[in-house]
Amino acid sequence: MANNFQGMEDDVLFEAQRIKGQQLKREADSILTRSIYFGNKSKDAVNKYKEAAEHFMTGLDNKSAIDCYTAALNVWIKNQKILNHWKEPTSFLYAEAGKFYKSGELEKELAEYIEVEGLNFENEKDKDGHYMKAIEHYKHAGETFELENAKTSTNQCYVKAAELSGLIENYEDAIKYFEIVAARCSKEKLTAFNAREHLMKALLCHILLQMKNAEKDDLTGAFYSSVDDLRNAYDRYCEMDIYLSGSLEGDVVLKLFDAIQRRNPKEMATVLRKFDSLKVLDSWKTTILLKIKDNISTLDLT
């Protein structure tokens, strides 16, 4: 009897929250009908929608909460900076409602915005912090797209997570996500040829990872001793992708490994220059190759 009474009491409380949410939503709608979409009136309406959404969530009515967050997004659709404040909670609610593709789209848009604009709206970027936050959203977007079996969108997000990880020298994560995408591509006839590109990027990160891990007081010796690890990674990738062996990318990597084994940084630099001249490089590979070249210049020939 006591449990039944408690259940009835909870239902009353939830219903009260939903009623309050409905009231706030009507107030927000009323504000918009009385004003044009700019200035303080718009901000007042958005705040009302936010309050309404919170009450609906407390009242276990996520559908109405989504409607309120979506209404707020529509109000700020012309103001990209403020718009992104609302994407994260809306994405969460779409996922809660099982609308994973829509949730993934919002996560991806948020990641793209943070990547370009930084973490705050004054564009004062933390050195790597905004990339780390963008990576987090790209990963989550990829995972969410994967729930909908949206393969292309999943791969796009994981590649972005990998590339940004490489730029902030988190090479382990970069390698991990390049490998994930390469493995996914290699399983599909239409995308199998694309696996080579991702594995090439992973191998470049392997080289930088070995350079990073080399002891500073013996960079040359520690780096050169890592060539077996690099060759093992290459052999493993050739098993993943039959197109890697014998390709331009594969040949470049093998020549780099040979130069490393011969302790010849000048030869390594020559290989990279030749690769640069034979293939149009995207900005990511250009940046990574420059990092490798810079590190090569610190190697000791003696």
Query: What tens digit of pLDDT does each residue of 139-184 get?
Result: 988 988 888 888 999 999 999 999 999 999 999 999 999 999 999 9
For position 138, what pLDDT does the model report?
A: 94
Percentage, residues of the chain above pLDDT 70: 75
Nearest-angstrom CA–CA distance, 249 and 282? 14
Residue 3 — pLDDT band, cuts 50, 70, 90? low
pTM confidence score: 0.69
- The 3-state secondary structure of the chain reads CHHHHHHHHHHHHHHHHHHHHHHHHHHHHHHHHHCCCCHHHHHHHHHHHHHHHHHHHHCCCHHHHHHHHHHHHHHCCCCHHHHHHHHHHHHHHHHHCCCHHHHHHHHHHHHHHHHHHCCCCCCCCCCCHHHHHHHHHHHHHHHHHHHCCCHHHHHHHHHHHHHHHHHCCCHHHHHHHHHHHHHHHHCCCCCHHHHHHHHHHHHHHHHHHHHHHCCHHHHHHHHHCCHHHHHHHHHHHHHHCCCCCCCHHHHHHHHHHHHHHCCCHHHHHHHHHHHHHHCCCCHHHHHHHHHHHHHHCCCCCC
Residue 229 — pLDDT band, cuts 50, 70, 90? confident
| C-alpha dist (Å) from residue 25 to 56, 85, 137 | 10, 19, 29
For position 202, what pLDDT does the model report?
A: 97
Nearest-angstrom CA–CA distance, 55 and 58? 5
Residue 135 — pLDDT band, cuts 50, 70, 90? very high
Q: To the nearest whole number, what is the mean pLDDT of the chain?
A: 79
Query: What tens digit of pLDDT does each residue of 183-219 get?
Result: 999 998 888 889 999 999 999 999 999 888 875 545 5
CB count in 10 Å sphere of residue 222: 15
Among the listed ranges 40-49, 94-103, 215-224, 277-286, which one has the minimum average pLDDT value?
Answer: 215-224
Q: C-alpha angle with apex 51: 49 to 57, nearest 5 degrees?
A: 100
**Is residue 5 over pLDDT 50?**
no
